[in-house]
Amino acid sequence: MIEFIKFTTKWIAGNLSIPFWVVGHVHLTMNVYDDLIEILSSLGMNLIVAFGFYLEWRENRNSSK
């Protein structure tokens, strides 16, 4: 189950990082974050992408040695 969660996180990070950040930055410039749900959703999406990048980096670092 842990391997599936790692795979899913890496997939999300690889395929949805640009849409998350582009939409997030456009949203930040157009709106004021007054709603806690919006702030937590944005933070959660960015943390998923960052964790996926970390997993990919760790995997590539270990495989290149």
Per-residue pLDDT at 24 exceeds 70: no
Phi, psi at 48, each rounded to 5°: -60, -45
Contact 1, 22 (CB under 8 A): no
- pTM (two decimals): 0.62
How many other C-beta atoms lie within 10 A of the C-beta of residue 13? 19
pLDDT tier for residue 22 given thresholds of 50, 70 and 90: confident
Three-state SS at 1: coil
Nearest 5 degrees, angle CA 14-CA 55-CA 45? 55
Q: pLDDT tens digits for 28-62?
A: 666 665 677 777 777 888 888 888 888 888 888 87
